[in-house]
């Protein structure tokens, strides 16, 4: 196995997993809003956010998508994300610490596919997103 590229499809096992943890800050949310050109005030304006049901700024949903994609690149280094499906279950606020985890639930070696359960939880253990992914793992060829 190449340490740089990670495992080949043949080396994966059901229940292999990876996690990444990130602090969500107001500065990161503002920078992310600039990158994706989405400046809805719910994400970047604390005064506006106070008037909403959340009471404070929340992260873009796609912020979690990107965290999960980053975690998948750790789990399936050298592979390709083929599908990502996510359901947001609770808001993520500036000041939260989010852990994104992926766990291999099925392996199809004939098609180089890994089926992965994904989950994001905050510092209180509350699930903020769940989903699944399909990744194309590399082969020895």
Residue 141, pLDDT score: 67
From the list 71, 40, 79, the residue with the least C-alpha distance to 57 is 40
| Contact present, 73 and 135 (Cβ < 8 Å) | no
Least Cα distance to 139 among 118, 106, 113 occurs for 113
For position 4, what pLDDT does the model report? Answer: 66
What string of pLDDT tens digits covers the 141 residues of the chain? Answer: 445 678 999 999 999 999 999 999 999 999 999 999 999 999 999 999 999 999 999 999 999 999 999 999 999 998 899 999 999 999 999 999 999 999 999 999 999 999 999 999 999 999 999 999 999 999 876
CATH homologous superfamily of 9-23+61-136 equals: Hotdog Thioesterase (3.10.129.10)
Domain boundaries, the chain: 9-23+61-136
- 100 DSSP assignment: E
């Amino acid at each position: 196995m190449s340490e740089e590229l990670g495992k080949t499809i043949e080396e994966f096992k059901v229940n292999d997993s990876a996690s990444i943890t990130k602090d969500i800050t107001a500065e990161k949310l503002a920078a992310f809003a600039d990158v994706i050109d989405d400046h809805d005030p719910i994400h970047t304006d604390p005064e506006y956010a106070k008037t909403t049901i959340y009471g404070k700024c929340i992260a873009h949903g796609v912020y979690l998508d990107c965290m999960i994609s980053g975690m998948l690149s750790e789990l399936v280094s050298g592979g390709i994300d083929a599908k990502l499906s996510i359901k947001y279950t609770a808001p993520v606020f500036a000041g939260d610490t989010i852990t994104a985890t992926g766990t291999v639930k099925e392996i199809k070696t004939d098609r180089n596919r890994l089926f992965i359960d994904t989950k994001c939880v905050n510092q209180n253990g509350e699930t903020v997103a769940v989903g699944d992914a399909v990744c194309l793992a590399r082969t020895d060829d």
